[in-house]
Amino acid sequence: MSQSKKEGTSHEFDAESHLRSDWAARQHALGNVPQAVLLRNLPPRLNLLIDTWHRSLLRWSLAPLERTRSTWIADLGCGYGRVVNEVKAMGFENIIGLDYEAGFCRQYQLDHGHAVQGSIAQPPFAAGSLSGAYAITAFMYVGLERAIDGIGMLDASLSPGARILILEAGAEFNGLSRYIFRQKRTQSLAVNGFSRSELGKTLLPDGWRKIASGSNAGMTMLLPLLMTFHRWPRVFNALAKAAMHLDRPRVGFRDRGVRSFGLHRWVLCEKPFNSAPAR
């Protein structure tokens, strides 16, 4: 290994351990609640709207998968398990969380059963053991290079036909908010997020079929109004309904231009049925 590669790698490990202790501090400070794993400075009603959108996307993404006793779904960077009940309500019995924060894993185990403490940069699952996986705002914390490695390793754990939903912060939105809110520049948990081409291309292993991608650009554009009216339930609910409609998942939707400027963006992929079984 070259010297520069070694330095880069140790720098990434340092950054990861720094982030890890910041996540532990956040879990201690806020506990196992949505505010701890969503946007802590947003009003609860807005985080609830983001939560509702994540759930609708998960339902849409995982709906075609078979539910059998041997179907396992991985929840990568699972936190305390905010959305697991949605996946369970769809009839999936076996969901396994992976997170490096002990307090989140403990809560996940108490509420939902299986959670492993470990890094998503090195997912520990057996070859071909997963029928599906989702990561909601998780890979952005490991950086592009380690996320590519982690998703590459995940590929070996997925069975042919598995579906994978990856949802991360949009780099453009985060760049703008760092420009406006100076304090974000020094907050380690206020990370970059991914650009459209990183999430839609660079991060994906060869062979995965991209089914659809999108963002919550509608909600993002309506954010100033949603913030202004968050104490007025009737106005807020009308705006929220419009946002959910604009950001509904669709096949063939083009996540481009103004539409790609979202707080969050996502990609849904499938591991082809004819891919060679992992060894």
- Using CB under 6 A, which of the segments 96-104, 107-115, 222-230, 237-245 binds ligand SAM? 96-104
At 61, the amino acid letter reads S
Residue 84 binds ligand SAM, judged by CB under 6 A: no
Instruction: Tell me the closest approach of the beta carbon of residue 269 to ligand SAM, in angstroms.
Output: 18
Which run of H or of E encompasses 97? strand 94-99
Residue 46 binds ligand SAM, judged by CB under 6 A: no
Half-sphere exposure of 103 (CA within 13 A, CB side): 16
Which run of H or of E encompasses 88? helix 84-89
Residue with tokens 């948990």: 189
Residue 86 binds ligand SAM, judged by CB under 6 A: no
Tell me how many residues contact ligand SAM (CB under 6 A). Answer: 19
Q: Residue 105's closest CA among 123, 81, 141?
A: 81
Q: Please, which residue, 101 or 198, has the CB nearer to ligand SAM? A: 101
Residue with tokens 């790609």: 260
Residue 101 binds ligand SAM, judged by CB under 6 A: yes
Measured in whole angstroms, the distance separating CA 157 from the mean position of its chain's CA atoms is 18
Q: Residue 75's closest CA among 172, 66, 61, 64?
A: 61
What torsion, rounded to 10 degrees, do the Cα atoms 148, 138, 111, 54 define? -110
Can you give the length of the chain in residues? 279
| Sheet arrangement for strand 72-76 | 114-117, 94-99, 72-76, 130-136, 158-169, 264-270, 209-215
- Using CB under 6 A, which of the segments 2-10, 73-81, 152-160, 204-212 binds ligand SAM? 73-81
Instruction: Tell me the closest approach of the beta carbon of residue 134 to ligand SAM, in angstroms.
Output: 8
Residue 78 binds ligand SAM, judged by CB under 6 A: yes
Residue choice 57, 73, 87, 136 for contact with ligand SAM (CB under 6 A): 136
Q: Segment 110-129, which members bind ligand SAM (CB under 6 A)?
A: 119-121
Q: Please, which residue, 75 or 270, has the CB nearer to ligand SAM? A: 75
Residue 47 binds ligand SAM, judged by CB under 6 A: no
CA distance 50 to 43: 11
Instruction: Tell me the closest approach of the beta carbon of residue 101 to ligand SAM, in angstroms.
Output: 4
Q: Please, which residue, 198 or 275, has the CB nearer to ligand SAM? A: 198
Residue 37 binds ligand SAM, judged by CB under 6 A: yes
Residue 266 binds ligand SAM, judged by CB under 6 A: no
